[in-house]
Amino acid sequence: MEFFTPYYFKNNQKMKRIVFIITALFLFSVVSDSNAQEKNLEKAALVLEQLKKPQKNHVLVVSHRGDWRYAPENSLMAVQRCIDLGVDIVEIDVRLTKDGHLVAIHDTTVDRTTNGKGKVSDMTLEEIKKLRLKNACGVRHSRQQIPTLKEIMLLAKGKIMINLDKVEGNTVREAYEVLKETGTVNQAIFKGRETVDFMLKKYGDLMKEIIYMPILIDNTDNPEEFVKDYNKKLSPIAYEVTFSSTNTKNFKEIKRLNKKGITVLNIPLWDALVAGRTDEMALLEGPEVSWGWLIKNGANAIMTDRPEELLSYLKKEGLRREK
């Protein structure tokens, strides 16, 4: 303590005590600050753990394109909203600009979601940044711009995992560079429909550096073989599985993945992806007949257009382990 005490306070017990308290408070605030940071870091790391070891009493929530009902799809505001809601993973689409930057946008053109026109691949980042995103209603412009993947990852860092769509077999390397630069390699889940051999041939050892989630879509030739091959060569921690009906091979594959303790992500965005057990059904007929049904049939994670409602349903059902 002597060290912190200015000479004119010496021999003054009262002042000494005050200085001690102030110093203690200061030290405490520094410590609790770093605690808060750790807590944030924990969220993304925790989600990764939960992906690796799916539990019956905890279902992960993935928000499709960010919470686009409240902010433009694929915008920083839509990601921030997911962080605020307590969503685990936000799905974002990324595409390459003419000058090689990865930006978050779903369509190949900017026509639907911005006040501009043209292909993303024909525009420079500077041109892209001049545009303003539209709200879901289509007409009105938001103040939000198209974000770069870098901006998304910096916002998400520690707070939420990101699922990268449209990267597939195209821009894995470019996206990986951004993750390395922002220190978020462990926070991004790549995904794609290609076979494991295709991906390994194209990207080699890079496939072992990233978190990769194969997508099992309905017209996959031999789902059983597709999964076996991936499990043998890359042991993925999760699969995205769609099934147009419960008679499909894909639907049977869900049980096998469950037995192996590999996370199954279902995406109830529209009928053909989940044999009709959609988000809309949850809203109109009740969550137990859609989300509840999916969970009963093996979903460990659900990608939704209604993250707020899904979270509150899961909490009500005791399917969210809170820290």
Tokens of 104: 């978050």
Per-residue three-class SS string for 72-137: CCCCHHHHHHHHHHCCCEEEEEEEECCCCCEEECCCCECCCCECCCCEHHHCCHHHHHCCCEECCC
Lookup: tokens for 259: 């037995």
Q: Would you state the structure tokens that stand for residue 140, as one six-digit string?
A: 């009105």
Cα separation, 57 vs 317, whole angstroms? 9
By beta-carbon proximity to other proteins, the closer residue of 50 and 63 is 63
Tell me which residues in 279-318 interact with other proteins (CB under 8 A). 280, 283-284, 305
The yes or no reply on residue 132 touching other proteins (CB under 8 A) is no
Our CA dihedral for 237, 240, 241, 242, rounded to 10 degrees, sits at: 180
CB 270 to other proteins: min, Å:
5
Does the footprint of other proteins cover residue 269 (CB under 8 A)?
yes
Among 47, 54, 66, 73, contact with other proteins (rule: CB under 8 A): 73
For position 71 contacting other proteins by CB under 8 A, the verdict is yes
Interface residues for other proteins in 150-169 (CB under 8 A)?
none
Other Cβ atoms within 10 Å of 154 Cβ, number = 16
271 token code pair: 């009928």
Q: How far is the CB of 223 from other proteins (least distance, A)?
A: 25
Nearer to other proteins, 62 or 262 (CB): 62
Of 112 and 117, nearer to other proteins (C-beta) is: 112
| One character per residue 30-69, x = contact with other proteins (rule: CB under 8 A) | ----------------------------------xx--xx
Count of residues binding other proteins (CB under 8 A)?
Answer: 23
CB of 68 to other proteins, least distance (A): 6
Listed residue (111, 107, 89) closest to 213, CA to CA: 89
Among 220, 152, 236, which Cα is nearest to 187's? 152
The CA-based diameter of the chain, rounded to the nearest angstrom, is: 85
Q: In angstroms, give the least distance from the CB of 8 to other proteins.
A: 36
Instruction: Work out how close the CB of 72 gets to other proteins at its nearest, in angstroms, rounded to a whole number.
Output: 10
Contact between 272 and other proteins by CB under 8 A: the answer reads: no
Distance CA 90, CA 169 (A): 20
Q: Is 53 helix (H, G, I), strand (E, B) or coil?
A: coil
Q: Specify the residue, 36 or 283, whose C-beta has the smaller distance to other proteins.
A: 283
Binding-site member from 135, 187, 290, 300 for other proteins (CB under 8 A): 135
Distance CA 171, CA 161 (A): 19
Of residues 135 and 182, the one with the C-beta less far from other proteins: 135
- From candidates 137, 205, 232, 318, binder to other proteins by CB under 8 A: 137
CB nearer other proteins, residue 53 or residue 140 = 140
Min dist. Cβ of residue 5 to other proteins (A): 34
- The strand ranges marked E within 144-237 are 161-165, 188-192, 211-216
Nearest distance in Å: CB 271, other proteins: 9
> Which residues make up the interface to other proteins (CB under 8 A)?
64-65, 68-71, 73, 77, 112, 135-140, 142-143, 269-270, 280, 283-284, 305
